[in-house]
Amino acid sequence: MLNQVLLFLGVCLTGTLVHAYDEEMQALMDNLHNECVGQTGVDESLIINARKGDFSEDQKLKCYMRCIFAEIGTIEDDGSIDVDGVLAVLPEDMRDFAEPIFRKCANIGGSDPCDIVYVTNKCAYAERPADYFLP
């Protein structure tokens, strides 16, 4: 079960929209979202806007994005993104398009661990906006 959760979360975090998932997976995504909103205090409207490509420079939004990656165990001790870890939780058929995006976008900049993930998300959205997903 844990592997299924990590797989689903990894798919969502890599800018890949999962078109069909069951209520249990939706509940898990909601829990992840709620946990990270609780940890960061981010305004929900900023998350909604980011899903549409409007990325606010708000520090709480940046840390919300980092929280998502941290909760699935894909943040290194130095605050960078473990690209291989992210790719490992993806279904094989999604790695083909996700890998070049993550190899290009992960860890390309950022002033702190939250900003690193934020910059990665912005880049991933720019690369494949139709498939971008933020819990």
> Rounded CA gap, 86 and 111, in Å?
21
Q: What is the pLDDT of residues 18-61, one digit of tens each?
A: 444 467 767 878 999 999 999 999 999 999 999 999 999 999 99
Question: Which tens digit of pLDDT belongs to each residue from 49-96?
Answer: 999 999 999 999 999 999 999 998 999 999 999 999 988 877 677 788
What gap in Å lies between CA 41 and CA 71, rounded to an integer?
A: 16
Quick one: which of 29, 3, 25 has its CA closest to 91? 3
- Cα–Cα dist 63/115, whole Å: 7
pTM, whole model, 2 decimals? 0.81
Q: Give the CATH class of 2-129.
A: mainly alpha
Structure tokens, 99: 């890998």
Whether the CA torsion 46, 54, 31, 120 is positive or negative: it is: negative
